[in-house]
Amino acid sequence: MGNVTLNVKGMSCGHCVKSVEGSVGALDGVDQVKVNLDAGQVDIAFNSEKVTLEKIKETIDDQGYDVE
């Protein structure tokens, strides 16, 4: 099990939160996703045997946000 906090630019509203949490949460191997809008961070708990950190970052990027 892996836990990571990613800094994500471009999130500004509730729709952004739902977009990121929904898309990342739908990935096989992701157990929990929590967006902290004020801090611009996304906390993710995932199974690294099922999903890579790169795939998670790519999924956030595909939603139109920049992962630092």
- Residue pLDDT, tens place only, 3-24: 999 999 999 999 999 999 999 9
Q: Please state the rounded mean pLDDT for residues 35-51.
A: 97
Residue 11 belongs to what domain range? Answer: 2-67
Q: CB under 8 Å to 32, separation ≥6 — which residues?
A: 25, 43, 44, 45
Q: Please determine, for residue 1, whether its predicted confidence score (pLDDT) is greater than 90.
A: no
What local confidence, expressed as pLDDT, does residue 21 receive? 97
The CATH number covering residue 14 comes to: 3.30.70.100
How many domains, the chain?
Answer: 1
Strand partners, 35: 42
Q: What is the pLDDT of residue 58?
A: 97
The pLDDT assigned to 46 comes to: 97
